């Protein structure tokens, strides 16, 4: 169904694997469009409660936007590339109702790190290497990297990484708070699936509200405390809330209907 991706659903978790290993899974326009479709399909699928995104092969998560595609672009085309990519993939993923975990299995550079940073959280293999090397090509990160790296690691670290165009290893990324866990390559997907399994036991409607409330912290002109109050209140009208509180009082495990 997809040329550049594989998609598997098991135990309420959809795993999207970017599959252009010969190009280190670089994000060309086709792949960005396919990722948009795959994320949209998984987000609207009632059987999917968590999405994991990873790269095929042992070498790369994603080695960046496909440089061969934009090398001859004009100013206007460059602007369109960034705007369209942000809308179709990076902002889209960040604002999904379904939790998205990035399983960083190797190089996550440029657009690759930007994709990982648009996910709700990140787990890395101990072989992973991360960076935003765009200034070494005479350009800056255009898929949200200047904003999300700054949010995740702070201004000084973000500017050092961007200005030096250097890569950091998984343990440094862990110490920066850029990734939540570092594990050997062969344990990467297992850990992501274990974390996903914990998430699937909880209320999907409450999780979706939590994503929106946390994201509100980073939206200009939006008061995140107000978003939290509204979302918190809305939870009281859901079947999941009735089930969650009733199950607690009846001393049994909740079976959330997801409504
Ligand atoms: N865009 C297009 N093609 C890419 C790519 C990218 N971002 N990253 C890797 N590739 C391609 C290479 O051109 C090469 O293709 P070829 O075999 O047809 O020549 C193939 O993937 C393998 O990459 P190669 O560079 O030979 O592997 P390496 O192990 O020597 O180096 C990297 C790995 C990641 C250090 C190196 O590929 C690299 O620096 N990539 C670009 C990273 C970057 O600047 N990303 C930001 C883009 S904005």
C-alpha 75 to ligand 1 mean position (Å): 24
Print the domain residue range for 66.
Answer: 5-200
Does a structural domain hold residue 256?
A: no
User: What pLDDT is attached to residue 184?
Assistant: 98
Q: List the structure tokens of 143.
A: 């898929």
Is the same domain home to 103 and 161? Answer: yes
The count of domains in the chain is: 2
* 191-197: long-range contacts, CB 8 A cutoff, minimum separation 24: 191/123, 192/52, 192/54, 192/101, 192/103, 192/123, 193/11, 193/13, 193/52, 195/101, 195/123, 196/13, 196/49, 196/50, 196/52, 196/99, 196/101, 197/11, 197/13
Please report, for the domain that includes residue 173, its CATH number: 3.90.226.10
Does a structural domain hold residue 145?
A: yes
Is the same domain home to 75 and 14? Answer: yes
User: What pLDDT is attached to residue 37?
Assistant: 98
Around Cβ 116, how many Cβ atoms within 10 Å?
A: 31
Is the same domain home to 189 and 229? Answer: no
Atom of ligand 1 nearest to the CA of 136: 44
User: What pLDDT is attached to residue 44?
Assistant: 97
**Residue with CA closest to ligand 1 atom 12:** 23
Atom of ligand 1 nearest to the CA of 66: 1
Is the same domain home to 15 and 114? Answer: yes
- Output the ligand 1 site: residues, CB below 6 A: 23-24, 26, 63-68, 107, 109-111, 133-134, 137
C-alpha 221 to ligand 1 mean position (Å): 39
Decide which of 200, 215, 230 is a domain's last residue.
Answer: 200
**Residue with CA closest to ligand 1 atom 26:** 23
Does a structural domain hold residue 255?
A: no
Does a structural domain hold residue 258?
A: no
Q: Strand order in 121-125's β-sheet?
A: 5-10, 13-18, 50-55, 100-104, 121-125, 181-183
C-alpha 224 to ligand 1 mean position (Å): 40
DSSP label of 49: S
Is the same domain home to 131 and 223? Answer: no
Does a structural domain hold residue 183?
A: yes
Per-residue pLDDT of the chain (259 residues; tens, 9 = 90+): 899 999 999 999 999 999 999 999 999 999 999 999 999 999 999 999 999 999 999 999 999 999 999 999 999 999 999 999 999 999 999 999 999 999 999 999 999 999 999 999 999 999 999 999 999 999 999 999 999 999 999 999 999 999 999 999 999 999 999 999 999 999 999 999 999 999 999 999 999 999 999 999 999 999 999 999 999 999 999 999 999 999 999 999 999 999 9
Decide if 55 contacts 15 (C-beta within 8 A): no
Mark whether 134 is an active-site residue: yes
- The residue behind tokens 């090509």 is 137
Is the same domain home to 31 and 43? Answer: yes
Does a structural domain hold residue 259?
A: no
Is the same domain home to 140 and 61? Answer: yes
C-alpha 149 to ligand 1 mean position (Å): 22
**Residue with CA closest to ligand 1 atom 28:** 24
Does a structural domain hold residue 129?
A: yes
User: What pLDDT is attached to residue 50?
Assistant: 98
Is the same domain home to 211 and 241? Answer: yes
**Residue with CA closest to ligand 1 atom 14:** 23
Does a structural domain hold residue 254?
A: no
Name the catalytic one among 11, 58, 114, 243. 114
Atom of ligand 1 nearest to the CA of 133: 44
Is the same domain home to 135 and 227? Answer: no
Is the same domain home to 22 and 64? Answer: yes
Mark whether 187 is an active-site residue: no
**Residue with CA closest to ligand 1 atom 19:** 23
Is the same domain home to 119 and 31? Answer: yes
Name the catalytic one among 134, 160, 186, 190. 134
DSSP label of 144: S
Rounded CA-CA distance 41/19 in Å is 18
Phi, psi of 131 (to 5 degrees): -175, 165
Is the same domain home to 123 and 220? Answer: no
């Amino acid at each position: 169904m997809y040329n550049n991706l594989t998609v598997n659903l098991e135990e309420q978790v959809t795993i999207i694997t970017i599959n252009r290993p010969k190009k280190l899974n670089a994000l060309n326009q086709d792949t960005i469009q396919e990722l948009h479709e795959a994320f949209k399909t998984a987000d609207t699928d009632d059987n999917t409660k968590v999405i994991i995104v990873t790269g095929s092969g042992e070498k790369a998560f994603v080695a960046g936007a496909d440089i061969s595609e934009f090398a001859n672009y004009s100013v206007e085309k460059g602007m369109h590339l960034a705007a369209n990519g942000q809308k179709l993939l990076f902002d889209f993923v960040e604002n999904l109702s379904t939790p998205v975990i990035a399983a960083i299995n190797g190089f996550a550079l440029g657009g690759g790190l930007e994709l990982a940073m648009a996910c709700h959280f990140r787990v890395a293999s101990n072989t992973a290497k991360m960076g935003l090397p765009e200034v070494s090509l005479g350009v800056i990160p255009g898929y949200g990297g200047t904003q999300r790296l700054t949010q995740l690691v702070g201004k000084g670290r973000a500017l050092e990484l961007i200005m030096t165009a250097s890569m950091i290893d998984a343990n440094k990324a862990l110490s920066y708070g850029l990734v939540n866990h570092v594990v050997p390559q062969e344990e990467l997907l297992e850990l992501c699936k274990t974390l996903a399994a914990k998430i699937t036991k909880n209320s999907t409607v409450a999780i979706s509200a939590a994503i929106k409330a946390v994201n509100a912290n980073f939206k200009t002109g939006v008061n995140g405390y107000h978003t939290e109050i509204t979302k918190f209140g809305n939870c009281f009208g859901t079947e999941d809330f009735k089930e969650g509180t009733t199950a607690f009082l009846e001393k049994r495990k909740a079976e959330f209907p997801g409504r």
